[in-house]
Amino acid sequence: MGIKRCFAIILTGLLVLTTGCAGGGGKQEAPKFPTKALDMTILFGAGGGADVIARKLGDLASREIGQPIVAITVLAVAGP
């Protein structure tokens, strides 16, 4: 290993250490994600099997994460 590579590794390590130590001493807790309602886009027709399953999964996920999940049905059309 060359001296330049060793120097670069040592310098990178010191940079990481000093950046981690400069956090202000106190541990700050990040806000819980998500902080607002989530939108779930359903690309199939309303009332179909995929729509019903997606809405049920959205309800289950909403209970798990503690935030509402809003189901939005959008009909996707492809082609010219």
Q: What is the pLDDT of residue 6?
A: 67
pTM of the model: 0.53
Q: What is the pLDDT of residue 19?
A: 63
Tell me if residue 58 falls in helix, strand or coil.
helix
Average pLDDT, the chain: 78
42 or 80: which carries more pLDDT confidence?
Answer: 42
Q: Tokens 């935030």 label which residue?
A: 67
Q: Which two tokens stand for residue 50?
A: 């995929």
Could you give phi then psi for residue 42, rounded to 5 degrees? Answer: -110, 120
Average pLDDT over residues 21-34: 66
Q: What is the pLDDT of residue 70?
A: 92
Going through 1-80 in order, the beta strands assigned E by DSSP cover 38-42, 69-73
Average pLDDT over residues 37-44: 88
CB atoms within 10 A of CB 53: 12
